[in-house]
Amino acid sequence: MIEARRLHILRAVADHRTVTAAAAALYLTPSAVSQQLAALEQETGHRLVERGAKGVRLTPAGEILLSHTNAVLAQLERAEAELAAYSSGAAGTVTVASFATGIVLVVAPAVARLAESAPGIRIRVQDAEGDASLPMVLDRQVDVAVAVEYRGAPAADDPRLTHVPLYAEPFDAVVPVTHRLADAAEVPLAELAKDAWIGPYPGNPCHDVVVLACENAGFQPRMEHSSDDFRAVVALACADAGVALVPRSALRGMDLAGVVVRPVDGTAPTRRVFAAVRRGAEEHPLIRPVLDALGAAAEV
C-alpha cells in the first residue's frame, strides 16, 4: 500500500529538484526525505528517482507515479474539504501569502470583509512574491497564494493547483521630469532602448513583465539599478538614475514630484493577478469564503 505522505514527498522532490531543497520546504531532514523515497521505491517495486551532479530527476516510473500523485493529493484535499464541511468548518485559521501591493489591494480588504461575514475564520498574512508563494502553497506552508502570472509559473491548468483570476492592471512608464519624453502623452517603449533602467530583481514576476515588454519592443533593457520595492524604483527615477515600468496600483500614494508617469504607447504590459490553492481545496469551508472575499475585493 502506497502512503500518501510519501507521495507528497515525491512531488516536493520533483518540484524542487534536490533532496535538500525539498527537505527544507517540508521541514524535514534530507536523510528523512531520502528514507521516505527509498520506502516508496520499495512499496512500488520501481526506482523512482535518479541522483546526478545537478540534483535529482524522476525516472520514467517516477513520472508515471507523479501523474497519479497529483490526482490522489487533489482528491485527498477534496476529502478534507467535505469532512470539514460535515463538521461545519465555521472556525479556523487560513494562511495567505501575497506580494505587498496585492496585500493592499485585495488581501487587507478581504480580511476586513471576513471579519464581518465569517468572524470564525482567522487570516494570517505573509508577504511573499508570486514566485515564492506558489511553492509555499504546494509545500503546504500556506493555504492561499495571491500571485502574478510570470514566465515559468505553473499554468492555469496545472493539476496541482486551482487558479482564481482576481484582477489585471497595466504598467505605466515612469521617467524623470527632465527626460526627453516627459512631455509625451504616451511613451513608446522602443524610444527607451538606450536609457538606463531601474527595475525588480530577476526572479520577481514583475521583472519578467518588464523584460518581456521591452523584448516585444525590440530591445533588452539595460538594468542599471535593481530593487523589489517600487518606492525605491521611483525614488531612483526622481534622482534621474533611469527609467522604469511600474504597476499602476503601486504608484498610489507615492511622492511623484520628480517624475512623470505616462501610459505606454500601444499594448501596455500587464500584471495579471490570481489566487491559487491546492487543487481540491477550493471548496474547503474555510478556504472558499477567503477566495470569495478576495474576489469581491478585486471587483471593488
Convert the pLDDT of each residue in 4-42 to its tens digit: 888 888 898 888 988 889 899 888 898 898 898 888 888
Residue 51 has pLDDT above 90, yes or no: no
Label residue 56 by pLDDT band (50, 70, 90): confident
Instruction: In whole angstroms, give the CA distance from residue 165 to residue 151.
Output: 17
Tell me the per-residue pLDDT of 237-289, one tens digit each, with 9 for 90 and over.
Answer: 999 999 999 999 999 889 899 999 999 998 889 989 999 999 999 989 899 99
> What is the rounded average pLDDT for all residues in the chain?
90
Mean pLDDT, residues 141-148 taken together: 95
Domain that holds residue 58: 4-84
Same domain, 156 and 25: no
Same domain, 190 and 204: yes
pLDDT at 88: 63
Residue found by looking up cell 524610444 in the block = 191
pLDDT at 95: 96
Q: Kindly state the percentage of the chain with pLDDT values over 70.
A: 98
Least confident of 17-21, 190-194, 234-238: 17-21
Same domain, 158 and 197: no
Same domain, 155 and 295: yes
Same domain, 229 and 106: no
- Number of folded domains that form the chain: 3
Residue 221 has pLDDT above 90, yes or no: yes
CA 96 to chain CA centroid, Å, is 11
- Beta bridge mates, 244: 174
Same domain, 279 and 237: no
Same domain, 266 and 176: yes
Tell me the per-residue pLDDT of 58-115, one tens digit each, with 9 for 90 and over.
Answer: 899 889 998 888 888 888 888 877 777 666 666 788 999 999 899 999 999 999 999 9
Same domain, 79 and 217: no
Q: And the C-alpha cell for 136?
A: 509555499
Of 178, 112, 171, 137, the closest CA to residue 280 belongs to 137
Same domain, 238 and 262: yes
* CATH, residue 60: 1.10.10.10
DSSP3 helix / strand / coil % (the chain, rounded to 5): 45, 25, 30
Q: What is the DSSP letter of 129?
A: -
Helix axes 130-138, 4-16, angle to 10 degrees: 160
pLDDT at 77: 83
Label residue 52 by pLDDT band (50, 70, 90): confident
Q: And the C-alpha cell for 223?
A: 538594468
